[in-house]
Structures are given as structure tokens and as C-alpha cells.
Structure 1
């Protein structure tokens, strides 16, 4: 979990400040939401009130039409049996009031003989005739092309009774072209369209053309689902995909409902968006708080920390002390920290200088020691070479030559230590290669041919193992070349390997042995090989048969262990 935590100081501070401001932000959001809700409710009430006021003409027109229908329904019994009197009175009413284009009495039979035109009409075959008669309720319908007048009208139907029983409807047609337009004052408030519709979702009236008004209706809510006895307001997109705010106001006492369609970018619809601005207060408060906090942290802390970090980085990379600026505004804590760093850096540079001098002196001394040891061993080898030339006994020469080889091996190791750049470790692979080459050069003449196969890797060992390994290889190669011989018609062969696997090293010498080989041995070589194997901390395995001799040594590569002082 700790790896998931941000490590940047600015980020951590912002998170902590955000956590500290969370309660205030929650209160601000709660208050803002409450203000926005109240503002939304107020705006909706305002829009509903304006919608009701704007639709007052339609409301009065429909209410008056139903009132006229109720009046003629109350005297319909006098007209049913006297069609001429009915036509005279209804026609006279239409002539005196141009609001209506037709009035007629539609009986249950569907045969209208009493109307303002004086003609007979048969409505019994109309598709909606039977449902209307079965409902026996007042209704409002639209006829875009009335057969009687040829105009676009909406028809108000009021049921009437004769002798206490349902007898039919009083139908009144009102032309659409007589409806008023929306006033400029209401349009300035953002009213796009004002329509009325019935319970079936059919548009009855519109301030503009009905087809144009249909484009402004909500795309996701059919009108028949909106006809209700309660006012409501909502926001949706019209059929053209434009955002609109809708207000629905039922007309009391009639099956008609008024819908106001408002633009959301102007007028009262846009005023609601103004109430959303307080919702930005919590965000602005957080931004302002973060800005003050970040400015304070940068001015008082981060600026000085960055300056001190640059000085530390410069010292760590270049071991140089830059001259940091020390403004008067630096807090005393950072001033003290900067002074402590400068003092510590000075002490570190002084200590490192002393260590470098001491290390340089030790390296010079160590190399000088190895150089002198190598020279002394070479001097001893030269003295022994003089003794070999003066010796008369072959046995003496052989013993001195074997001893000289061991001394040369030691001198070679000290030469490599003198030239080593691997923290005092020796490339044992190179030593083994030199020993193999020199042994072959000394042990074979120009006409002797030995098939040599080597697999020698680079193995770095400290002198405590490099010296006994070299001496062991020298003794092993001497023994191998002493007893090497061909088998049958094959030429002599020799295989030498030095490989490393993790911290384990394996060295092996394998040579051919002839069946007729005989040689005297003192056993000193085998004793030395065993002793050197013990010094290596390894295990020696020897395999011997009629035509092959193999010696394998396995040992662990040891780390440097300083010698315990003897006080």
C-alpha cells in the first residue's frame, strides 16, 4: 500500500488540503443544491404562471364554447321536433358571433337535422362516432379540413339530455384562423410555441401553424402521456433535437391541456441556468484554497528545498560545493539545515581526500611488495638455473628444474597481482593458460606432437586460492607430461579445462597413457597436489585406466577474508 501513496510533496499537500476542505465543500454543495432547487422551483412556477396567462385566450374560448353548448343543450328539446326553428336560431347566433363557424345538434342516431347551415348530415358512418357516443362525455377534436366549412377547426362537443336520458351532443366548430397570436411581451420571455391538446394527444390549437408546432413537441414524451389534471414542467429535446423547456397547464372543466414551449437560451428559460452558477462556488473555493496553500508552501518550503536539493545533487555528482543563494526570507530552520549540510559536505570532502591518499599509498606499497617478491623469485630462479648448469647428476638437475618451475609459477602470480585491476583478484584462467603453454614448450621437442584440447574460462580468484591453484596446475601438468604416451597407433593427447558454475570452480587435467610406460616416481608431486587441493578447500578425483589418466578438482570460490590480527 505504501507504494501507492504519492511521494510528491505538492500532491500530498493538495490531498490533505482537499481532505480538510471536504466538510466545507459538502456544506457548500448542500447549500448550493438547495438554492438551485429552490431557484428551479421558482422558475418553474414563474413559467407555469406565464403559460397560464398566455393561454388565457384559449382557456376562455374553450370555456365559452362549452358554455354556449350547455345553453343550447338545455333548449335542445325545443329544437329537435322543429328543425326550421333550430336552423333559424343557430344560424342567427353564428351570424352575430364570428368566433364560431358551425353549431349543430347531433342525436344518438347520427343524423343531424338541426344545424346552423340548415342542411342534414349523417355522421353515423364516421369512424369515431360510436366511441364518442359510448363515452357520453364532453370532448374536443380537430378537423384540418371541415366538410361543412372547408376550414381547419377544432370541434367542442357537449352532451345533452332529454327527459333525463342521454340524447346526443351539441357540436360547435371554432376556426383556427380566429385564434390570437402570442404577444410580443410574452415572446420576449422566451416562449417558442403555445399549443393545446386533448386527452388523445391530438393538437387542438397552436399559435403558429399546427404542423410547425408539431416539430416543437418533446420527442421522448407523447402528448397523450402528458394530459393530466396537474401542472408540471420539464426539460427535453424537441423532434428537431433542440433543447426546450416545457410547461403543462390543464384547462379546468375541459378535456384540453395547454403546453408552453420555451427556449432555454433566452428569457425565463435562460434565467434558470443563472442559478446553476452558485454550484461553482465549492470548486472556486477549492481552487482558491489550493492556490493559497501551494503559494505558501512554495514560498516558505519548496523553494528552499529545491535550492538545497540542487546543492546536494551537485555535491553528490561532482563533489563540488556551489554557492547557494541565501535570501533574507529563508526560514531559520532551512538556514540551519543549509549550514549543517555545508559543514557536513566539507567534512566528507576532507575525509575522502584522506582516504584517497591512504588508498593510493597502500596501492603503491602493495604493488611494490609484489614487484619486489616477483624480482626476488626471479633472482632465485636465476640462481637455481646456474646450479642446474653446474650440477653433474641428472637426478639433481631434475629436482632443481622441478623446483625452478614452482618458483616461476609463484613469480607469475605476483606479476599478475602487480598488474591486477580487479580489486586484488587474479585472472586464474590466464595463469592456467601460461602454465599449460610453458609446460608443453619445455616438455616437448620439435618432433613431438601432442594433441592438446583446452577449455579455460576467465575465473577471478583472490591470491589465497590463485597461488595453490597455479601450483596444483603446475604439478599436474608436470605429471601429465611425464607419463603422457600414445596408445596403439594414436598420437598422445592432452585435455585441460577450467570452468566456473556460480560459485563452484572445476579444473581437470586428462592425458593419454601408453601400456608400456614406466617411470620412477618419488611421490612428491602427488603429495604436493594433495596439499594444494587442501589449501583450495576442494575435492580431488583421480581416474586411471589402461590408456587414460584424469585428475579433477572441485572447489568453492572463496571471498576475501581478512586475517585475524594477533594481539
Structure 2
């Protein structure tokens, strides 16, 4: 686990990373001071931007505020004027009618007693107002208030209603109402001019919408923040915040008291028209110290890369190429490098030049020794073939069968040794022999020498590509020769079949071992195996060769088949002592 973690953190050992880390630590105090100062400046800018936006919202609703304050003042004055005529419906109605006629901004004025029966109004008709929302809200909490009605009972239009209590000697007589049409408010705003792209929404102290610009009262949720009621906005401590409105647009909302304690206003601004301090200053100012820090790191890293890392990387590349075998010429000495790195480069150049010279001398010496060793193998092969030929001439002159058989077996062994030496000097490397090719040559040679044409004997081979050292190739080849000689001698047609057969296999076990097996068919009448004039010499030789391979012979004779196998390790064999029986 520690090794895996260290591998993942390998980059921390690089010079560039360490330099960046040290510079970061060095610049940390300065960066911290810059960030603190920048943050303070951003907070001041934020407060200034919020104050400016609240002021713009207040200016945008200045006309509505003036209208409501004027209506509150007018209703208070009228309530005092009606005290003397409140019992005289005609006189009371006349006062209200004259006032509405002189002030066209008001659509209606009326006095509603505490019983809810309105008989004094700017309209001549008496009405029962006991079921109206405005009357019930007033009776529940008698006070000056501002409400709205989407469909006024008199004008049948959306109206803003200003209510003022009428009292005499501390006794509540009723309430005076003044109504202003929303259309009048829209007309006044269009004549007076307004902030571009801002939507104004007014609420009373109970959270009831009073007026929304360019929308009906029922469409107030489209202008307010999505998912938030008016009452939650009134209880919120946020004066300015960013959110999406009911139509899904991103807006900046500013909320303030339009008429303290009675009317609040919410201004909905597009972001581009109401950028806050955090939008204008904070990102850029906070980014400036970070930019300075990154720039310092980049400049320092570029300097170190140009003066050090670039040359070290080039020197590393030269070393890697030299280690991978590109040694045609010594690597060049680095140019324009600092003195210390140039000295290392010159030392490596001298070292590489000496190594190239020594390797060339070693390679020439090795080539000479290789040629000599191949020549030795070639001459040994020729001498062994000469001996085999002389023995063949001797065999033709000997008439006694036993003697001929003994000479023939010796000749096969000499021919096998010649084949081994032939494969050694023909191989690309003298330290390894391809066992499949070697065994194939031996089998072919012995088949031509030992099996007469037209004999009823079939020989099959299956040799896997296994590489052997010379110390292994000799005992393996001689063992295969002895076993094949015995197999040719004792192979007989199996019961129920008409042809004898011999099968030789070499299998790579994929575990660092190989198995050599020689099998032959045998009939029901199996003869005793006698090795020429010296009984058992073939078996002794086979066991001796297996001993040189640090192995043992396994023999199985069953079901019409005789099988001899040896499993041995693939690898170098130390020089063995004189094997027993040889």
C-alpha cells in the first residue's frame, strides 16, 4: 500500500513541483494580505451597490409612495371634515362627491359605519359592505391601512384602497375609504417616466399585493421569486438577493419599506441593470492576487525549465538512449547549459567514449572467440563423422551378428554426438540449442541408418520448441538415441493391428520443465530386452543420461504400448561427475 501511494506521489519529487511549492509558501503571506484587503474592498463595494440599488428602487416607486401618502393625508383630513355631518347622509355624501370631483385621481370615496351599511359615499347608492374584505380587515384591527381589490364594487376595476378610521371622542364611528384605480397609477407612471426593465410590486403589512406594474394582481407570482410567498419576503432579513422569478428569469430583487409600517415594495431588476458589488469587484479583485501568484510561479518555472530542467531532460535522454544500445558515437556535450550541468555532461561524454571503446574491443575479442569455438565444433563434428564412417566400413566387414549389432549401436551414438556439434556450430548463439531441431535431425539420421526401406514401421515425432543449454543438449540427445535404438529393436505390431509404430515427443510443461517421451507398440508376445553382448548397457546409459539431467526414467508398459519418459528442468546444468556405469 505504501509503495502504491509513493508511486502516485512520484510527481512530488520533481524539481518543478518542489520549486512551485517553495514559491507558494514564500508568497503565501503577501497573497493573504492582498486577499484580506481585496475582501474588505469588495464588502465596501457590496454595501455601496446595495444602497444604490435600494435607492433606485425607492426612486422607481416614488410616485406610488407620493400617491399613497397623499391619499392617507386626504383621508385623514376628510375623516375630520365628516365628523359634523356623519349623521346626515346627504351632506356627508355631498362632501365626498365634491372631493372626488375635484381630485380625479380618486375613483371613489365612502364612509362605512361600524355596522357595515354604507349610506355616505361619492356614489348616491347605499351599499352593504359588511361582507367586503376591506371592512372585515378593518373591524378586526381598526387602523389606517392600504388594501387592494382586483374588482372594485363600484368601479368594477382593480383599485388601491386607502382606509382611515373615523373616531369622535375616542369612540370609533366607522372608516373612510379612498379608492385609486390601478389604471390611474399606470398612467401616472408612464407620464412621469420610470426605471427601465424594473417591475414594481407593492404589499401591505399583511402581505396582500396592492399593485404590480404591467400585470394583474393575479399575476403577482410571475414577478416574485419562484416558490416564495409575499409573507415570507416580508419576514426575510435579506434586503437584496438574486433568484429566479415565476417566469424562470434570473432577477435581482430589492425590498424596502415604501410607507413605514403599512406598505412595502419589491423591485425586480434584470441582472445587467442591477449588478452588485460581488458581480463587479469581487471576482476581479480576488482574481488579481491569484493571477500574480500564478504568474510568479510560471515565470520561476520557465526560468528553471530553461536553465536547469531542459538540460537535465536532454541529459537524461542521452543516458537512456545510451543505455538502450545507441552507442554509435559518444553523446554530444550540452551547449548553453550552466557550468555545473555542462560539467556533468562532459563527464558523461568522456565516460560514454571510454565505454564505447572498451565494448568495441570486447566485441572484437568475443567475435574472435566465437569463430574459434564454432571452428572447434565444426572440426569435432567432422572427426566424429569420420569415425562413424570408419565404423561403418568395419561393420560391413564383420560377419558375426552380435558384433555387428554392438558396432552399429556405437556408430549411432557417435553420429548423435556429431549431430549435436553440427547444431552447435550452425546455431546463432553457442550458448543455446533448439531441442526440436536437434532431436528431429537425430531421428531422421537414425531412421535412414537403422530402418530398412519397406519395413513395416511408422515413426512419428512431436517436438515442442524448447531451448536447451549445451550441457543439457548432449545428455538429452544421447538419451533419445539410446531409447530410439531400443524402440526400433523391440517395436512389434500390436495385437489386432498390422503395423508397428514409434512415437517421440518433447513437451514444454510451462513450469520450467520439459518431458521427453519415447513410445513404441508391442504385441502380446513381448521379447526380453537384451542390449547386445553386454546385457543392460542401453538401460544403464539411459539412466546415466537421466542422472546428468537431475532426473529419473519412468517406464510404463501396458495396453500394447511401451513408454519411456524423462521430465527435467530447463536450465543450466552444473558440470557433472563421472556418471556411474559409463
TM-score by length of 2: 0.83
Gaps of 5+ in 2: 578-582
Most deviating of 438-447 and 539-548: 539-548
What does the per-residue CA deviation read over 1:398-451, in whole Å, with 9 as the maximum and x for residues that have no partner? Answer: 333332222111111111111112452223333333333443433343343124
Aligned equivalents of 2:321 and 2:572: distance in 1? Answer: 35
Aligned equivalents of 2:208 and 2:384: distance in 1? Answer: 122
Q: Is the 1:247–1:261 Cα contact (8 Å) retained in structure 2?
A: yes
Aligned equivalents of 1:459 and 1:205: distance in 2? Answer: 98
Q: Is the 2:202–2:211 Cα contact (8 Å) retained in structure 1?
A: yes
Q: Is the 2:142–2:165 Cα contact (8 Å) retained in structure 1?
A: yes
State yes or no: 1:181 paired with 2:189. Answer: yes
> 1:541: which partner in 2?
554
Aligned equivalents of 2:193 and 2:550: distance in 1? Answer: 110
Q: Which of these residues, 428, 443, 448, is aligned with residue 450 of structure 2? A: 443
Relative to structure 1, the CA distance from residue 231 to residue 82 in structure 2 (aligned partners, 3 Å threshold; closer, same or farther) is farther
> 2:580: which partner in 1?
none
TM-score by length of 1: 0.85
Aligned equivalents of 1:430 and 1:100: distance in 2? Answer: 119
> 1:116: which partner in 2?
122
> 2:514: which partner in 1?
505
Secondary structure of the corresponding residue to residue 289 of structure 1: helix
Q: Is the 1:428–1:461 Cα contact (8 Å) retained in structure 2?
A: yes
Q: Is the 1:427–1:459 Cα contact (8 Å) retained in structure 2?
A: yes
State yes or no: 1:358 paired with 2:371. Answer: no
Secondary structure of the corresponding residue to residue 154 of structure 1: strand
> 1:318: which partner in 2?
326
What does the per-residue CA deviation read over 1:333-362, in whole Å, with 9 as the maximum and x for residues that have no partner? Answer: 111121112112212211221121121011
Q: Which of these residues, 169, 172, 180, is aligned with residue 175 of structure 2? A: 169
> 2:525: which partner in 1?
515
Relative to structure 1, the CA distance from residue 478 to residue 35 in structure 2 (aligned partners, 3 Å threshold; closer, same or farther) is same
> 1:478: which partner in 2?
485
Q: Is the 1:314–1:320 Cα contact (8 Å) retained in structure 2?
A: no
Relative to structure 1, the CA distance from residue 185 to residue 451 in structure 2 (aligned partners, 3 Å threshold; closer, same or farther) is same
> 2:275: which partner in 1?
269
> 1:155: which partner in 2?
161
> 2:543: which partner in 1?
530
Q: Which of these residues, 432, 455, 465, is aligned with residue 458 of structure 1? A: 465
Q: Which of these residues, 492, 503, 508, is aligned with residue 495 of structure 1? A: 503
> 1:405: which partner in 2?
412
Most deviating of 2-11 and 80-89: 2-11
Aligned equivalents of 2:460 and 2:153: distance in 1? Answer: 121
Q: Is the 2:54–2:254 Cα contact (8 Å) retained in structure 1?
A: yes
Q: Is the 2:495–2:523 Cα contact (8 Å) retained in structure 1?
A: no
Aligned equivalents of 2:142 and 2:207: distance in 1? Answer: 19
Relative to structure 1, the CA distance from residue 37 to residue 117 in structure 2 (aligned partners, 3 Å threshold; closer, same or farther) is same
Aligned equivalents of 2:474 and 2:149: distance in 1? Answer: 120
Relative to structure 1, the CA distance from residue 184 to residue 39 in structure 2 (aligned partners, 3 Å threshold; closer, same or farther) is farther
Aligned equivalents of 1:17 and 1:508: distance in 2? Answer: 72
What does the per-residue CA deviation read over 1:109-167, in whole Å, with 9 as the maximum and x for residues that have no partner? Answer: 22222223454232234355434423323322224554545665311111223453333
Relative to structure 1, the CA distance from residue 250 to residue 230 in structure 2 (aligned partners, 3 Å threshold; closer, same or farther) is farther
Relative to structure 1, the CA distance from residue 265 to residue 301 in structure 2 (aligned partners, 3 Å threshold; closer, same or farther) is same
Aligned equivalents of 1:85 and 1:365: distance in 2? Answer: 146
Aligned equivalents of 1:113 and 1:545: distance in 2? Answer: 133
Most deviating of 174-183 and 415-424: 174-183
Alpha-carbon RMSD across the aligned residues, in angstroms, is 3.6
Secondary structure of the corresponding residue to residue 554 of structure 1: strand
Q: Is the 2:151–2:157 Cα contact (8 Å) retained in structure 1?
A: yes
Most deviating of 177-186 and 197-206: 177-186
State yes or no: 1:196 paired with 2:202. Answer: yes
* Alpha-carbon distance, 1:366 to partner: 0.8
Aligned equivalents of 2:120 and 2:358: distance in 1? Answer: 126
* Alpha-carbon distance, 1:377 to partner: 1.5
Q: Which of these residues, 559, 566, 571, is aligned with residue 553 of structure 1? A: 566
Aligned equivalents of 1:198 and 1:112: distance in 2? Answer: 24
Q: Which of these residues, 2, 7, 11, is aligned with residue 3 of structure 1? A: 7
